[in-house]
Amino acid sequence: MPFPTPYAWAIGRAAQQLGAGVLDRSFGLVRQRHRLRFDYHQGSRQNAASFAFQAELDVPLDLGLSISSGATDVWGRFAQSFVSYGDEPARVQALATPAVQAALMAALEHTADVADLPRVQLLDNGVRILTAPAAADGLPFGDDGYLVHLTEAASQVALAALEAARHVPPAASLVGLARDLERVARDTGMKFRPTPLTLEGRRHGVECRLAASRQAPLTYQLVLEARFVELLGLGLSLGDRVEAPDFLSDLFYASPRFETGDAAFDATFEVRVGDERRARAVLGDVARRQLNQLRRFGPFAGDDRGLTLRLPAVHATGESAISALGALGDAAAVLSGLALERRAGPYR
């Protein structure tokens, strides 16, 4: 089926060369620890046509980061071409290694202004390149090669930033917690990163992750995740009980409320599923007990992919964080139909 865009052939060819899935005016693909996406925005009387390239990091950085292109320096100097901001300048400086600067300068080359917006930006969540289609005119790439070139340029910036982040110290308020988590990682074989502050591993076969998420300047939250071994396929929505009339709460859910018959559990949790028969098997006595234990750490949410718990980072310790992550992993394991092997090591 032909694309309704003058760049249909170029978009299709570029997607083919990159091994990307293509849809109308965009394509996307997944690389190690980042996702790439291209979008063609067709022009109108009010807005110029543009090519937009994004590289989204798997876990956003926690720097309050903004490195944005301004006026391009004719001598190719980074400091004159980019403006940098962040919560803690020393951490931003540590991230902006020569490799990151070189990748940003390479991404900036062969781009053109679109409505005076930044051509290249490196933010906490990843990279964005915005350019006018006319920037490809006269270059040796050709239209499809130009799309491939800038997609790879966005990827190179993301990879350089991820590598540099390994050596960026944690936020000042998270130093104590980072020290505790690094010790846990050494003892358990889990993976530790200081920026964003992250701890990853497996518990009872379940992938678990703890990451610091920036909520505001110098303010962080711990996001704990445990992924089910396989998608549950229940159409599950799990969270705290909503105190509202049924007709009102039903407006916000695609599936009806599910009652397990456990009065205490049903009074605590709001459960919505599309397959009630299978849900009764999944949410058995052991699963409900594990979810009740997990609720002691705070409100959490769940869907067919896994469970997520959010905790304030202030005053958090390695012991409290790893206990919460353990409870999350145990609950996800039981809902996945796995037995909890108490004799085995908790993580690997």
Place of tokens 């925005």: 41
147 plus 238 within the same structural domain? no
Helix (H) or strand (E) holding 328: helix 318-335
- DSSP-assigned states of every residue in 137-197: TT-TTHHHHHHHHHHHHHHHHHHHHHHHHTTSPPPGGGHHHHHHHHHHHHHH--EEEETTE
pLDDT (0 to 100) of residue 251: 56
111 plus 191 within the same structural domain? no
108 plus 211 within the same structural domain? no
What pTM was estimated for this model as a whole?
A: 0.86
Phi/psi of residue 248, nearest 5 degrees: -80, -45
Mean pLDDT on 73-100: 94
186 plus 319 within the same structural domain? yes
pLDDT band at 68 (very low <50, low <70, confident <90, very high): very high
303 plus 257 within the same structural domain? yes
187 in any annotated domain: yes
Average pLDDT value for the chain: 91
- The residue ranking higher by pLDDT, 46 or 183, is 183
DSSP code of residue 257 = B
The distance of Cα 250 from the centroid of its chain, to the nearest Å, equals 29
Length, in residues, of the chain: 348
148 plus 289 within the same structural domain? no
Residue 310: CB atoms within 10 Å: 16
Helices 142-165 and 8-18, interaxial angle, to 10°? Answer: 40
pLDDT (0 to 100) of residue 344: 47
* Cα distance between residue 238 and residue 298, in whole Å: 14
222 plus 309 within the same structural domain? yes
Report the domain count for the chain.
Answer: 2
pLDDT tens by residue, 106-140 = 999 999 999 889 999 999 999 999 999 988 888 88
pLDDT tens by residue, 137-152 = 888 888 999 999 999 9
* Cα distance between residue 348 and residue 193, in whole Å: 16
pLDDT (0 to 100) of residue 1: 44
304 plus 158 within the same structural domain? no
- pLDDT beyond 50 at 224: yes
Where a domain ends, among 165, 189, 222? 165
Which of 42-81 are b and which e, b meaning 16 or more Cβ less than 10 Å from the residue's Cβ?
A: eeeeeebbbbbbbbbbbbbbbbbbbbbbeebeeeeebeeb
2 in any annotated domain: no
Could you list the residue range(s) of the whole structural domain that residue 129 is in? 8-165
301 in any annotated domain: yes
159 plus 215 within the same structural domain? no
344 in any annotated domain: no
Residue 212: CB atoms within 10 Å: 30
347 in any annotated domain: no
195 plus 309 within the same structural domain? yes
16 plus 146 within the same structural domain? yes
- pLDDT beyond 50 at 58: yes
Which amino acid, 35?
R
CB 188 within 8 A of CB 345: yes
Lowest average pLDDT, out of 49-53, 257-261, 288-292, 300-304, goes to 257-261
pLDDT (0 to 100) of residue 343: 45
pLDDT (0 to 100) of residue 51: 96
Mean pLDDT on 44-71: 92
pLDDT (0 to 100) of residue 248: 52
315 plus 228 within the same structural domain? yes
CB 55 within 8 A of CB 126: yes
Rounded to the nearest 10°, the torsion over CA 66, 67, 71, 77 is 160
- The residue ranking higher by pLDDT, 348 or 211, is 211
- pLDDT beyond 90 at 283: yes
Lowest average pLDDT, out of 42-56, 171-185, 286-300, goes to 42-56
SS3 32: coil
pLDDT tens by residue, 305-322 = 999 999 999 989 999 999
- pLDDT beyond 90 at 250: no
pLDDT tens by residue, 96-110 = 999 999 999 999 999
